[in-house]
């Protein structure tokens, strides 16, 4: 590729703090890189690890989970559950060979538009430095697969035919 | 059946159109996205003409889903939901993409912005197809209100509601209502006598037929939801039968046991083991402090019982419980004073003549332990010089980063009272003088004229280690005078520490009990810091006064009244709408593993023993989705934020990613290679 | 030849337990033989691939296919049987979700060959011989099946009509499925034939609300016989695993390891375990949470994906970038 | 409990009594110190102002040497300056890559290396307070310091924020207070406990140095302390060695002996004064220590500050302290 790599980051933002921080970044005209695609959830506690895994398998280069600061969750304490799941997921992803920087847990209050924008930019830079994830490429088999399949059919036709 | 999706791209004048190729985007959506039957762009989608465009398409084109690419849903989600509803489409079948806040306003490259917009629209289209019809339900509102905390804020709230004819249960932890304000001598900046303006309100509360006053009581448990809360109140045993007590006070007079009064007198004075916090207490009934009473400790005495003319003393009395049904709750639980021993360099608790602000309040109060005389700890000597130290525990990263808001004015008040009562030289050591309110700055000017000395700089330490002439026997205040640019050692007789206002030590437990949240500093969190300062995220639970954040008496009173007004609106309307965005447990998939059971802070999830499954009470559920994400059996679904909806949104957002095209995800055509 | 519908059974990358499980239906196997003409079952009957190849498409009524797809030969057979069968059932955990063979996806072919043919203590291979896909001998070229880097499930290889979970499927569930197929009382294609809830539903242990301060390995404690194993800190996958086995393992004090796969509609078994366990960790302190997780769950893939790694969203561990086995697409 | 031990230069000469008393109490308290082999000066308080790389290389060499004590990951320094330098250096080696790079290069020249965070650098006071503990001290006390009025003096080096991992207050530390109380001593509320002793000021500006010493001695005298207890050789040197000169400078006649906390612990444990280096101090502690001879006499100590007449108002309690 000739140009710089443009990572795709999927971000799950909670409705009350971090999504509002994104709104604030907008109304304050704080520029950040266009590589992030935001999904609104009511609470960071709604983020199912499956969402994260699915995003990675569908081609995301990084995933951000953002919620209210600890102790400030609009649902009292659900962001702690998001935090626990984040550490659990990171633990598993590490053993699958995924770099830590590709999954980020970010606290952002409704007043922290600047901070959220900076965190997004920082994450984009980190992921850009890591390069494309392209996870599903891990599944591709060696190019000789189809050849091998074809040979079996041929072999059977030649060798397994009992002469009359 | 394939859905018919309408996509509407808003220019927002040039707000979006200036950075995103809106026409191109609409064309692209119409041509490339599955199930999109109509795709239009329009100058202002939120205008009535814009809305009509959607309504018409729903009717004429038979749209079954609508996507609006415009501003943040926090601005216009309601607008477009309403437009859909007008045209007969369930409002929950509309999805917004935030092209303005998330793209045009934060991007600087039009091509990249347009590419990002395509992804967002694609995500919204895929998501909206999975969305389902939802319907809000209604519940009645109980007209009774629970007010927690009988300080001036709670008193105001209770009176506003009671005067409007609604019944109020006012719960106060201490034996009397009145709160911190009852301890003060004067109030700034007008210097009215605090008791003179507060006690009439207190007796109004005591006598009001619409107020049930529950003092020496605490809320044990709250269940239910907006309009229909159930509260269990623990009335602590007073050891005095309220029905029989006349409040004559003989028992107090005759009680032989004197103890330091840590609460009302701030530790500066004494009270008896049977006591009323202060003479004008409401209610008038005394309580026996069982930890101090000789009878409870040693089994003999009973002086109070002997002398009581109405046989109102009951040593055997037990805590009792009261179950209340209320529609709304107002929390006005106030604050704790900062414990200044936490800053040992200021000598509080070590150096006799260092006083806390509350001690000084009591000292100034004519009904206080010194009869209003300002004296040193020896009880007789009048100080000739007094230093008032601001921001003790406030604006201090080691303790509380916030400004306590009232201390500057209280310090000015102390300066005035000290000068008036003793003629002493009074110094104020401040960081910034904060006097923003009607007539506050004028009060500062007055103190400047009265001769109070102001030193701008934080105090490093208060010590009795003298080393310069004139320091012997004095307290030396070591500070940096940032205006003069030098160090100062100021020898004084007395030091008053303006301690911070802190959240109640049990504020977090209280918050949990009522299902609301606390800020990082521990103050209760309001629904919106500017536009909704007395409501909380929990419908039907309101907050007022200092429990929401430091503020002075006028602001507290205003919030008490505001909370009451909000409650009255709820009562007057009579019903509340219950949001349909809730979690549902599908019994047939639930194995009763009970993982979800303690994940809900609103106790909406219960385990049904008979069926062996868990159940979500929709009225209590706030729709956060945490249990949905947690269920190992995937037996819980979250309305409007279902797995399918979010999976589809992810797929849509990543429509242009390499593997989003299907590589590796789809099975190759069957059959054996030739 | 009879007019009975034809039945085929096949065994790809699996242990053979599924074959035995079929016989676990006891004398009812005779009813199967009565109802079907068993045309192909290499484990039990003599049969020729060639005769299958010569059949018309969809000539076989029902094919029970067990085993994951690890080699080109297995993929070939999967494709062949798909082509020739009306109803293809992914029979057992390997075909359904990769199972233990799927755990090979933590490594590459190179690593597996290195261990199998060189590093194991019992291997004597001084010449360093390795299986070769092609070998030239005097008589010509000999071929061996191609060994894949990544184990795939049957469903990732060909369209599958039904899935029968379990390692192996319980005989009663097999009989239920056969009955359903014989009587035509089938769920919509693509479905898993089985219960709609999880193992806890069948588990006799008592369950309370959960809070976990420490995850424990099975050898660390002697569990209370009455109480939910998870509440005692043992990672029991019963919460997330489809019911059907009768909670065999937890009943006898051994935690469920998840062989029946995820519950209805679940796309990633490991994610369900991770999220459920993380949700009930009894700590709000990041450092403590990390240490509870890293101390208590040293092998997250083995704990959460023992049977379903190949079936999960990520399917395998990342391939090393420099691995020469990579397809050109990775570099692109 | 086994530790690496870095005595530092002072403990070889002027603070020999600190070293002697530390060694004397180590056995009874169950402490085992393994001296770092071939250690060198820590650079004291000035060197890093002159040449940062050389200064930290000097300190890092000691850390590197200490890692040679196999199996010991805690390095104990009795001198506050040494403690501060070692701890700072350990931290910078982990957090300041640029400096660490230069220092590592210097170490490599000598075939040494040190990775920040390898050792836990701790002050002797920390070891006695946290590892030995007040209960053990109390239990082992055979000659309680009853009646001895002591001013606990921490100096300014040890109390930097982060001392005791933030468990003690840098403005008003209490660790030493609690140790002395456990030994039975009567504590004075020494307001100057964390103020500077002057460091090397006597060598630079005598008048300034003497003034700083005077403040401390005067305050202890105002509180009628029998002696000052210190944890730092520099403090001891200034307050003890220069007390006479300071008296002459100001025309005063203070007589406040200055002892190390290890010496007082030794006395409380019943050890002989001479085994603890007691007697080597310049301002004699003989009279003060006569109060706690083998035959302990309950001395009536006047406490005028605590007298209170009927009108007196109650003092606020210090919450959180029983």
* CATH code for position A139: 3.40.50
What pLDDT band is residue D309 in, cutting at 50, 70 and 90? low
What confidence tens digit (pLDDT) does each residue in C9-63 have?
A: 999 999 999 999 999 999 999 999 899 999 999 988 888 899 999 999 999 999 9
Structure tokens at D133: 């503990």
d(CA D318, CA B349): 6
D123 neighbors D202 (Cβ within 8 angstroms): no
- Count of pairs with CB atoms under 8 A, one residue in A, one in B: 171
Measured CA to CA, the distance from residue C249 to residue D209 in angstroms comes to 79
Cβ under 8 Å to A: C residues 27-86:
48-50, 53, 72-73, 75-76, 79
d(CA C243, CA C229): 17
Query: Which of B130-139, B363-372, B507-516 has the weakest average pLDDT?
Result: B507-516
Report which DSSP code applies to D131.
Answer: I
Which residues of chain B lie closer than 8 angstroms to C230, CB-CB?
593
Instruction: Look at residue C330 and tell me whether its pLDDT is greater than 50.
Output: no
Q: What is the pLDDT of residue B605?
A: 95
For residues B474 and B491, is the Cβ–Cβ distance under 8 A? Answer: yes
d(CA B91, CA B65): 9
SS3 D139: helix
Q: Which two tokens stand for residue D16?
A: 């020999």
Across residues B422-438, what is the average pLDDT? 96
Nearest by Cα to D260 from D252, D251, D268: D268
Task: Judge whether A63 lies within some domain.
Answer: yes
Q: What is the mean pLDDT of residues B368-390?
A: 96
CB contact under 8 A, A135 and B659: yes
Percent of chain B residues topping a pLDDT of 90: 89
Q: What are phi and psi of B299, to 5 degrees?
A: 90, -5
Find which of A61, A138, A140, A157 to mutate to test the C interface (most C CBs within 10 Å of its CB).
A138
Contact criterion met (CB below 8 Å) for D223 and D256? no
Q: Judging by DSSP bridges, how do beta strands A62-67 and A9-14 pair with one another?
A: parallel
Q: Does the residue A3 lie in any domain?
A: no
pLDDT bucket at C324, cuts 50 / 70 / 90: very low
Q: Do residues D309 and B378 make contact, with C-beta atoms less than 8 angstroms apart? A: yes
Q: Residue B425 in 3-state DSSP? A: strand
Asked if residue D22 has pLDDT above 60, the reply is yes
pLDDT of residue B664: 59
Q: What is the mean pLDDT of chain D?
A: 88
- Beta-strand ranges (E) seen in chain C are 6-11, 37-40, 60-66, 69-71, 85-91, 134-137, 140-143, 147-152, 162-164
Please give the average per-residue pLDDT across C87-107, as a whole number.
96
Residues B492-503 pLDDT 10s: 999 999 999 999
Q: C125: distance to nearest CA of chain A, Å?
A: 26
Q: Largest alpha-carbon pair distance within chain D?
A: 74
- Give bridge partners of residue D34 from the DSSP assignment: D4
For all residues of chain C together, what is the average pLDDT? 91
| DSSP notation for B407-438 | HHHHHHHHHHHHHHHH--EEEEEESS----ST
Digit-coded pLDDT (tens) for D100-127: 999 999 999 999 999 999 999 999 999 9
Structure confidence by residue, pLDDT tens digits, B530-556:
889 999 878 899 999 999 999 999 999
Confidence (pLDDT) at D170: 86
Burial status of residue D213 (CB atoms within 10 A of its CB: 0-12, 13-18, 19 or more) = buried
Residue-wise burial string across B14-31, b where 16 or more C-beta atoms lie within 10 A, e elsewhere:
ebbbebbbbeebbebbee
Question: What is the structure's pLDDT at B662?
Answer: 47
Give me the residues paired with residue A107 across strands: A67
**Distance from C-alpha of B285 to C-alpha of B317, rounded to nearest angstrom:** 14
**Element spanning B56, H or E:** helix B48-61
Q: pLDDT averaged over chain A?
A: 91
Beta strand pairing call for B354-356 and B274-275: unpaired
The H-assigned helical ranges of B131-193 are 152-163
Look at residue C186 in the predicted model and tell me its pLDDT: 84
* Per-residue pLDDT at D199 exceeds 70: yes
Task: Measure CB to CB from residue C304 to each of A77, A80, A92 and give the nearest one.
Answer: A92
> If contacts are CB pairs under 8 Å, which of residues 204-243 in chain C contact chain B?
207-211, 228, 230, 238-240, 243
Could you tell me the pLDDT band of residue C185, with boundaries at 50, 70 and 90? confident
Is the pTM for the entire model greater than 0.80?
Answer: no
Question: Is residue D303's pLDDT more than 50?
Answer: no
3-state secondary structure B176-223: CCCCHHHHCCEECCCCEEHHHHHHHHHHHHHHCCCEEEECCEEEEEEE
For chain B, percent helix, then strand, then coil, each to nearest 5?
A: 30, 25, 45
| Residue corresponding to tokens 């019809």 | B133
**pLDDT tier at C331, thresholds 50, 70, 90:** very low
Band (pLDDT 50/70/90 cuts) for residue D307 is very low
For residue D221 the two structure tokens come to: 């005298």
CA dist B112 and A113 (Å) reads: 21
Half-sphere exposure of A85 (CA within 13 A, CB side): 33
CB atoms within 10 A of CB C281: 25
Q: How far apart are CA D284 and CA D254, in angstroms?
A: 12
Q: B427 pLDDT band (50/70/90 cuts)?
A: very high
DSSP letters along B274-323, please? EE-SSTT-SS---EE-TTT-HHHHHS---HHHHH-TT--B-TT---EEEE
Cα angle D32, D34, D37 (rounded to 5 degrees) comes to 175
Beta pairing partners, B500: none
Q: How far apart are the first and last CA of chain A?
A: 58
In this prediction, residues D234-246 reach a mean pLDDT of 95
Sequence-ordered list of residues with C-beta below 8 angstroms from that of D15, at least 6 positions apart, any chain = D79, D233, D236, D237, D260
The Cα C73–Cα C257 span in angstroms is 30
Return the pLDDT at D178: 95
Contacts of B258 in chain D (CB under 8 A): none
Residue B69 has pLDDT above 80, yes or no: yes
Q: Between the CA of residue D7 and those of D16, D43, D107, what are the distances in Å?
A: 10, 13, 21
Please state, in angstroms and rounded to a whole number, the distance separating the CA atoms of residues C39 and C60.
Answer: 8
pLDDT digits (tens, 9 = 90+) for C262-288: 999 999 999 999 999 999 999 999 999
pLDDT in tens, B360-378: 999 999 999 999 999 999 9
Domain that residue A16 falls in:
9-160
Q: What is the pLDDT of residue B62?
A: 95
- A21: in domain: yes
The whole-angstrom separation of Cα C117 and Cα B203 is 93
* pLDDT number for residue B521: 86
Q: How far apart are CA B140 and CA B489, in angstroms?
A: 66
Q: DSSP class of residue B355? A: E
Across chain B, what does the average pLDDT equal? Answer: 94
Q: For chain B, how long is the longest CA-to-CA vector?
A: 111
Instruction: Answer whether residue D46 shows pLDDT above 90.
Output: no
ipTM reported for the complex, 2 dp: 0.69
For B255-273, how does the pLDDT look when each residue is reduced to its tens digit (9 = 90+)? 999 999 999 999 999 999 9
Residue B22 pLDDT: 97
Compute φ and ψ for D209, nearest 5 degrees: -60, -45
| pLDDT over threshold 50, residue C195 | yes
pLDDT for B1: 62
Chains C+D touching (3+ CB pairs under 8 Å) = no
Under the banding of pLDDT at 50, 70 and 90, the label for residue A14 is: very high
Q: How confident is the model at residue B661 (pLDDT cuts 50, 70, 90)?
A: very low
Share above pLDDT 90 across residues of chain C, in percent, rounded to a whole number: 78
Nearest Cα to B410, choosing from B382, B377, B434, B432? Answer: B434
For chain A, how many structural domains are there in total?
Answer: 1
B453-to-B353, B411, B500, D93 alpha-carbon distances in Å:
20, 12, 22, 49
Confidence at residue B651, expressed as pLDDT on a 0 to 100 scale: 95
Q: What is the pLDDT of residue B668?
A: 66
Q: Is A121 within the bounds of a domain?
A: yes
In a domain, residue A2? The reply is no
| A4 domain-assigned | no
- Best mutation target among D191, D193, D225 (most B Cβ atoms within 10 Å) is D191
The pLDDT of B21-38, averaged and rounded, is 96
Among chain C residues, CA nearest to B595: C210
Residues of chain B contacting C243 with CB distance shorter than 8 Å: 591
Q: What is the pLDDT of residue A91?
A: 97
State the pLDDT confidence band at D304, using cuts at 50, 70 and 90: very low
Q: Greatest CA span in chain C, whole angstroms?
A: 71
**Chain C residues closer than 8 Å to B588 by CB:** 196-197
Q: Taking a C-beta distance cutoff of 8 angstroms, is the pair B390, B428 a contact?
A: yes
pLDDT tens digits, one per residue of B280-329: 999 999 999 999 999 999 999 999 999 999 999 999 999 999 999 999 99
Whole-number Cα distances in Å, B158 to A65, B37, B145, B204, B212: 43, 57, 9, 10, 10
* pLDDT at residue B358 tops 90: yes
pLDDT for res A164: 52
Cα gap B581→B569, rounded to integer Å: 24
Going by C-alpha positions, the residue among A87, A92, A98, A89 that lies closest to residue A133 is A98
pLDDT of residue B626: 97
Q: CA-CA distance, C101 to C110, in Å (whole number)?
A: 16
Confidence at residue D311, expressed as pLDDT on a 0 to 100 scale: 74
**B187-200 mean pLDDT:** 94
User: Which residues fall within 8 angstroms of residue A67, CB to CB, at 6 or more apart?
Assistant: A14, A17, A18, A43, A44, A45, A73, A79, A82, A105, A106, A107, A108
| pLDDT higher than 60, residue C306 | yes
Q: Is B633 helix (H, G, I), strand (E, B) or coil?
A: coil
CB atoms within 10 A of CB D162: 11
Judge whether residue B356 has pLDDT over 60. yes
Contact B522, B117 (CB under 8 A): no
Interface mutation vs chain A, best among B659, B661, B667, B669, most A CBs within 10 Å: B659
The answer to whether the Cβ–Cβ distance between B658 and A136 falls below 8 Å is yes
Considering only residues D321 and D86, tell me which one the structure prediction assigns the higher pLDDT.
Answer: D86
List pLDDT tens digits, range B332-343.
999 999 999 999
- Six-digit token string for A56: 């990675």
In angstroms, the CA B580 to CA B584 distance is: 11
Assess contact for D314 and B359: CB atoms under 8 A: no
Give the number of other CB atoms < 10 A from CB of residue D26: 18
The residue that leads in pLDDT, B515 or B260, is B260
Task: Report pLDDT for D167.
Answer: 74
Whether C298 has a pLDDT exceeding 70, the answer reads: yes
B112 CB neighbours in chain A (<8 A) are 34
């Amino acid at each position: 590729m000739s140009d710089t790599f443009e990572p795709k980051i999927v971000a799950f933002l909670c409705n009350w703090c971090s999504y509002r921080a994104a709104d604030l970044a907008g109304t304050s005209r704080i520029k950040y890189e266009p590589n992030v695609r935001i999904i609104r959830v009511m609470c960071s506690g709604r983020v199912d690890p499956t969402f994260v895994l699915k995003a990675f398998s569908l081609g995301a280069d990084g995933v951000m989970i953002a919620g209210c600061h600890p102790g400030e969750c609009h649902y009292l304490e659900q962001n702690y559950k998001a935090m626990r799941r984040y550490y659990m997921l990171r633990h598993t992803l590490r053993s699958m060979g995924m770099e830590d920087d590709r999954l980020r847990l970010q606290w952002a209050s409704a007043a922290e538009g600047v901070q959220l924008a900076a965190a997004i930019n920082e994450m984009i830079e980190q992921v850009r430095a890591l390069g494309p994830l392209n996870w599903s490429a891990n599944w591709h088999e060696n190019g000789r697969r189809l050849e091998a399949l074809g040979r079996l059919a041929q072999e059977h036709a030649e060798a397994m035919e009992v002469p009359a | 059946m394939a859905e018919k999706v309408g996509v509407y791209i808003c220019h927002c004048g040039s707000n979006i159109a200036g950075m995103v190729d809106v026409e191109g985007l609409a064309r692209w959506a119409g041509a490339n996205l599955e199930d999109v039957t109509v795709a239009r762009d329009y100058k202002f989608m939120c205008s009535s003409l814009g809305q009509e465009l959607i309504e018409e398409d729903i009717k004429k084109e038979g749209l079954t889903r609508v996507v609006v690419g415009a501003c943040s849903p926090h601005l216009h989600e309601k607008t477009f939901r309403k437009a859909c509803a007008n045209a007969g489409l369930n409002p929950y079948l509309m999805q917004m993409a935030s092209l303005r806040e998330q793209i045009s306003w934060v991007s600087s490259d039009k091509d990249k912005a347009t590419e990002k917009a395509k992804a967002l629209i694609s995500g919204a289209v895929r998501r909206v197809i999975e969305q389902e019809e939802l319907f809000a339900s209604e519940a009645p509102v109980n007209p009774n209100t629970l007010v927690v905390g009988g300080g001036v804020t709670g008193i105001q709230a209770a009176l506003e509601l009671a005067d409007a004819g609604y019944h109020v249960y006012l719960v106060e932890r201490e034996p009397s209502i009145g709160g911190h304000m009852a301890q003060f001598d004067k109030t700034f900046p007008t210097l009215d006598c605090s008791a003179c303006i507060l006690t009439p309100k207190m007796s109004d509360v005591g006598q009001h037929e619409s107020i049930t006053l529950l003092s020496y009581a605490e809320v044990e448990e709250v269940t239910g939801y907006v309009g229909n809360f159930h509260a269990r109140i623990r009335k602590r045993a007073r050891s005095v039968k309220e029905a029989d007590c006349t409040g004559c006070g003989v028992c107090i007079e005759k009680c032989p046991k004197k103890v330091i009064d840590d609460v009302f007198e701030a530790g500066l004075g004494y009270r008896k083991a049977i006591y009323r916090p202060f003479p004008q207490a409401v209610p008038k009934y005394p309580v026996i402090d069982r930890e101090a009473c000789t009878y409870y400790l040693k089994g003999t005495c009973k002086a109070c019982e002997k002398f009581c003319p109405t046989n109102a003393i009951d040593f055997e009395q037990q805590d009792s419980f009261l179950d209340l049904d209320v529609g709304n709750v107002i929390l006005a639980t106030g604050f704790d004073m900062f414990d200044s021993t936490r800053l040992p360099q200021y000598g509080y608790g070590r150096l006799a003549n260092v006083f806390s602000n509350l001690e000084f309040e009591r000292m100034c109060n004519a009904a206080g332990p010194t009869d209003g005389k300002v004296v040193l700890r020896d009880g007789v000597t009048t100080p000739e010089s007094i230093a008032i130290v601001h921001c003790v525990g406030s604006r201090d990263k080691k303790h509380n980063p916030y400004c306590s808001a009232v201390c500057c004015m209280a310090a000015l008040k102390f300066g005035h009272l000290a000068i008036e009562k003793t003629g002493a030289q009074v110094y104020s050591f401040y960081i910034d003088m904060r006097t923003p309110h009607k007539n506050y700055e004028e009060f500062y000017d007055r103190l400047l004229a009265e001769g109070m000395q102001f030193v701008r700089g934080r105090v490093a330490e208060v010590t009795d280690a003298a080393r310069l002439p004139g320091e012997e026997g004095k307290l030396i205040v070591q500070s940096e005078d940032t205006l003069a640019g030098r160090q100062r050692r100021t020898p004084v007789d007395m030091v008053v520490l303006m301690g911070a206002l802190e959240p109640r030590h049990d504020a977090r437990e209280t918050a949990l009990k009522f299902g609301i949240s606390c800020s990082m500093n521990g103050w209760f969190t309001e629904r919106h810091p500017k536009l909704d300062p007395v409501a909380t995220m929990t419908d039907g639970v309101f907050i007022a006064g200092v429990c929401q954040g430091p503020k002075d008496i006028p602001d507290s009173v205003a919030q008490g009244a505001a909370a009451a007004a909000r409650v009255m609106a709820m009562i007057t309307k009579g019903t509340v709408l219950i949001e349909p965005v809730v979690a549902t447990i599908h019994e047939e998939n639930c194995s009763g593993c009970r993982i979800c059971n303690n994940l809900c802070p609103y106790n909406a999830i219960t385990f049904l023993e008979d069926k062996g499954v868990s159940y979500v009470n929709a009225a209590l559920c706030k729709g956060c989705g945490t249990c949905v994400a947690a269920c190992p059996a995937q037996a819980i679904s979250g309305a409007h934020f279902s797995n399918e909806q979010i999976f589809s949104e992810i797929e849509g957002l990543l429509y242009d990613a390499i593997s989003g095209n299907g590589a590796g995800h789809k099975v190759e055509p069957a059959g054996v290679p030739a | 030849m009879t007019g009975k519908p034809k039945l085929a059974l096949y065994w790809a990358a699996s242990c053979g337990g599924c074959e035995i499980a079929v016989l676990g239906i006891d004398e009812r196997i005779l009813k199967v033989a009565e109802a079907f003409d068993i045309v192909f079952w290499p484990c039990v009957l003599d049969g020729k691939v060639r005769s299958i190849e010569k059949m018309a498409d969809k000539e076989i009524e029902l094919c029970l296919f067990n085993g994951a797809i690890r080699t080109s030969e297995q993929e070939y057979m999967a494709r062949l049987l798909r082509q020739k069968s009306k109803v293809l059932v992914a029979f057992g955990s390997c075909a359904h979700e990769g199972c233990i063979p799927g755990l090979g996806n933590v490594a590459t072919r190179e690593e597996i060959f290195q261990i199998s043919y060189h590093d194991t203590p019992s291997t004597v291979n001084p010449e360093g011989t390795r299986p070769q896909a092609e070998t030239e001998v005097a008589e010509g070229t000999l071929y061996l099946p191609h060994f894949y880097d990544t184990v795939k499930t049957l469903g990732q290889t060909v369209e599958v009509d039904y899935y029968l979970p379990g390692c192996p499927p319980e005989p009663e569930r097999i009989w239920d499925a056969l009955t359903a197929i014989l009587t035509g009382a089938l769920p919509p294609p693509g479905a898993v034939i089985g219960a709609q809830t999880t193992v806890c539903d069948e588990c006799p242990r008592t369950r309370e609300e959960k809070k976990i301060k420490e995850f424990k390995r099975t050898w660390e404690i002697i569990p209370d016989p009455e109480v939910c194993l998870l509440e005692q800190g043992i990672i029991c996958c019963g919460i997330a695993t489809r019911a059907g086995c009768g909670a065999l393992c937890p009943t006898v004090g051994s935690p469920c390891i998840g062989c029946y796969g995820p519950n209805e509609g679940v796309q990633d078994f490991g994610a369900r375990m991770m999220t459920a366990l993380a949700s009930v960790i009894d700590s709000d302190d990041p450092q403590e949470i990390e240490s509870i997780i890293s101390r208590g769950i040293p092998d997250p893939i083995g704990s959460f994906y023992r049977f379903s790694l190949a079936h999960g969203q990520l399917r395998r561990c990342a391939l090393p970038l420099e691995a020469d086995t990579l397809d050109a697409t990775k570099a692109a | 409990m086994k530790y690496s031990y870095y005595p530092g230069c002072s403990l070889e000469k002027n603070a020999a009594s600190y070293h002697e008393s530390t060694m004397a109490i180590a056995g009874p308290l169950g402490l085992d110190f393994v001296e770092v082999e071939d250690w060198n000066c820590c650079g004291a308080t000035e060197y890093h102002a002159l040449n940062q790389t050389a200064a930290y290389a000097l300190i890092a060499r000691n850390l590197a040497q200490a890692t040679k004590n196999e199996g010991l990951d805690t390095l104990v320094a009795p001198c506050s300056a040494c403690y501060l330098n070692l701890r700072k250096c350990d931290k910078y080696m982990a957090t300041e890559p640029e400096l660490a790079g230069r220092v590592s290069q210097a170490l490599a020249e000598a075939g040494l290396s040190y990775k920040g965070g390898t050792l836990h650098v701790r002050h002797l006071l920390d070891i006695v307070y946290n590892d030995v503990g007040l209960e053990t001290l109390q239990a082992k006390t055979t000659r309680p310091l009853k009646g001895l009025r002591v001013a606990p003096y921490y100096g300014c080096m040890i109390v930097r924020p982060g001392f005791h991992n933030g468990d003690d207050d840098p403005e008003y530390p209490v660790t030493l207070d609690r140790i002395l109380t456990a030994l039975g001593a009567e504590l004075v509320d020494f307001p100057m406990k964390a103020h500077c002793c002057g460091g090397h000021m006597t060598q630079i500006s005598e008048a300034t140095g003497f003034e700083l010493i005077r403040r401390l001695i005067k305050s202890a005298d105002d509180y009628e302390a029998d002696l000052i207890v210190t944890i730092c050789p520099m403090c001891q040197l200034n307050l003890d060695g220069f007390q006479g000169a300071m008296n002459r400078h100001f025309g005063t006649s203070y007589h406040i002996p200055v002892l190390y906390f290890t010496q007082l612990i030794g006395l409380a444990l019943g050890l002989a004064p001479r085994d603890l280096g007691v007697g080597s101090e310049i301002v004699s502690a003989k009279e003060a220590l006569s109060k706690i001879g083998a035959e302990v006499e309950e001395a009536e100590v006047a406490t005028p500050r605590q007298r209170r007449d009927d009108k007196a108002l109650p003092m606020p309690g210090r919450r959180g302290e029983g």
